Structure 1
Amino acid sequence: MSEPTHSRTADAELATHLAEAAGAILLGIRAEGLGAGDGRELGRRGDKAADVYILDQLAEARPGDAVLSEESADDRTRLEASRVWIIDPLDGSKEYGMPARSDWAVHVALWERGHGITAAAVSQPALGQVYSSIDAVSDAPANQPLRIVVSGSRPPAFTDAVAAELGAEVVHMGSAGAKAMAVVRGDVDAYLHAGGQWEWDSAAPVGVAQAAGLHCSRIDGSPLLYNESHPYLPDLVICRPELAEPILRAIAKHSTESAVSGRVAMAREYVNALLTHDATKVRFAADAWRVENGQRTGDTGAFISNELEQGQQYRGILAIRELALREWGESVVARYLMDLGTPGQAPAVTVFITEYFGIPAGEIESIMAIIEPHSKEAGTQ
């Protein structure tokens, strides 16, 4: 790949333009679609449209650069590239589909080899705001007590203990970008996350926050690394610099869970989707396949994803219990009990499932499932 020469100011200006313009596209789609149907489908429409726009613009403006986007297949040539754009065209798609919510964002960041994130922009279209690494400034909050923002759906298990130790209030919000920009604005003092994220969730927010002089790290204090082989980055802290030491110390004291790997997280999302019928967070390779008790049950990622959400064969799943996941190499094995029957009634049958996932990179490429009868007397072995 060629070595283009662009100033960081020009790169940041491009990131800002793309985030703002994609945000305008999203506002238009939202205005037309809100209240007309499924909010999840609206989020997908917005995600796709914003992704296509950003990728087309980058192909024209920076044809020699690689791209890692949430909504596109992972092109592994990025691992050899010197410049990689890390994109989340719509962060907070759930909130985007809800009329009263403004906590969704567009993320555009540039990673450069040897330098990390060098240009970034986060657009919050519903607020009419774009934050850029060109001119990012952190406003000192006048909050007493401290305010900590966490995910509304997946707050860290240590949230309450850390907040109590610091004497802090807890605020819940959607979108990593929205939470990080709340710290930049001074609405809150810190953003803590430990529920699993991907590089595109935090690259642009971290780029803007760092440019504004804020502390950004993993929850163990180690650096946030981007353009890694597997783009899973499970946790982070963004806060005012003077708060970093007490926050990291409190997390170390109260955090009892180790971060899972990206492969384990992907397999877990798939198992969750069997029960929730929401495959939004499950990443499949385009040619992904699934085999169930020797029978082919899926030949493309799009088909498997659609089956998870629409397939009638999954509507009778009442519960998934005793889930255990183990990783070795590029594979993950999941073992669990599944209760089947009619909603609102006792399970008619319980089966024991073993699934083998092939996950060489950032997408599930294969699933081999073995489904066996189960009884309490027989156990699960």
Structure 2
Amino acid sequence: MPETDLSLLIDAAREAGRIAVAYAGREMQSWDKPKGAGPVTEADLAVNAMLEQHLPSARPGYGWLSEETEDNQDRLTRDRVFIIDPIDGTRSFAEGSRTWAHSLAVADRGQVIAGVIYLPMRDMLFAAARGQGATLNGQPIRVTAAATEAEAEVLAAKPNLRPDHWQDGVAPIFRRAYRPSLAYRMALVAQGRFDGMLTLRPSWEWDIAAGDLILREAGGTCTDRTGRPLRFNNPNPRLNGVVGAGSELHEILIGRLDQPMQGHRA
């Protein structure tokens, strides 16, 4: 059941936080991943090792997809799969920021049924199970109802406002903010701290899976950049961007985007 999966994810996220916090603020080994995929630290690997030992042993029939584990296509044969980012925002974690997160989810036949985003340095645990609503530290959360782009404050990296992403080359006039962790951006929209978020480049499933459910269970709409619902555990675990907001603002943003006919835009 999603409820028991959620309890499992919450316990695992808190243990991940204990491990990661022990590394925070001290020198640690780090490496650059191949093909410009970003840094990884010994803390990422330690958290991943704990999760990979603990979660599959608790759910032997589930598949496994994690940023820090070499992908195994066996997951495609499983109805349910863990989708894990041991530390989302590794670069900011290594730099001493407090806005990195653990992102843990379970997807059932492509749909997320339980998700947790945990920021241990801020004592913020966002959680949701399908059909049960979304919470922050056990209290219900809800998206805002901003109905126009002029009213909205949207979390987005600056390159997302390039003219070539938008119809007629005109970017929206919303107020822009940014946080380095994509999972945290989605959680902040679910919390109602910001009105929407978007990222228009291909994005990894492990950055998004937990936030997709939390945002939708908080009353929001979350899709790819074309407006299609997100599906997970794909052979290539990348999605065509993410747009998340309350329903009215989401419709406005999707309507303003210039949809490329071929491929993805960075």
Fold agreement, TM-score > 0.5: yes
Q: Is 1:104 aligned with 2:95?
A: no
What is the CA–CA distance in structure 2 between the aligned matches of 1:211 and 1:192, rounded to whole Å? 18
Larger-gyration structure (1/2): 1
The answer to whether the 8 A contact 1:40-1:97 is kept is: no
- Does residue 1:138 correspond to 2:180, yes or no? no
- Cα drift, residue 55 of structure 1: 1.0
Q: RMSD between aligned alpha carbons?
A: 2.8
Letter in 1 for 2:117: V
1:179 is matched with which residue? 185
In the alignment, the residues of structure 2 paired with residue 188 and residue 257 of structure 1 have an alpha-carbon distance, to the nearest angstrom, of 30
The answer on whether the counterparts of 2:143 and 2:246 sit within 8 Å (CA) in structure 1 is no
1:191–1:159: structure 2 CA closer, same or farther, 3 Å change rule? farther
- Name the CA distance, whole Å, in 1 between partners of 2:74 and 2:203: 22
Matches within 5 A, 1:298-317: none
Verify: 1:194 aligned to 2:191, yes or no. no
Tell me the matched-pair count.
Answer: 248
Aligned to 2:176: 170
What is the TM-score normalised by the length of structure 1?
A: 0.59
- Structure 2 gaps of 5+ residues are 33-38, 135-140
8 Å Cα contact 1:145-1:167 kept in structure 2: no
1:156–1:193 contact (8 Å) kept in structure 2: no
1:150 Cα deviation after fit: 1.1
| % same residue | 25
Q: Which amino acid aligns with 1:57?
A: H
1:12 aligned residue: 6
Partner of 2:162: 157
Report the secondary structure of 2:238's partner residue.
coil
Gap regions ≥5 residues in structure 1: 1-6, 266-381
Provide closer, same or farther for how the CA distance between residues 158 and 172 of structure 1 changes in structure 2, counting only shifts above 3 A.
Answer: farther
- TM-score using structure 2 length: 0.83
**Bigger RCO of structures 1 and 2 (CA < 8 A, at least 6 apart):** 2
Q: Distance in 2 between matches of 1:10 and 1:198?
A: 26
The equivalent of 1:127 in structure 2 is 122
The answer as to whether partners of 2:162 and 2:171 remain within 8 angstroms in 1 is no
Mapped partners of 1:77, 1:256: distance in 2: 32
Q: 1:103 to 1:141 in 2, by over 3 A?
A: farther
Alpha-carbon distance between aligned partners in 2 of 1:37 and 1:12, rounded to the nearest angstrom:
31
With over 3 angstroms needed to count, the CA separation of the structure-2 counterparts of 1:93 and 1:159, relative to structure 1, is farther
Residue of structure 1 in register with 2:113 after alignment: 118
| Residue matched to 1:72 | 69
Q: 1:54 aligns with which of 51, 59, 63?
A: 51
1:233 matched to 2:239? The reply is: yes
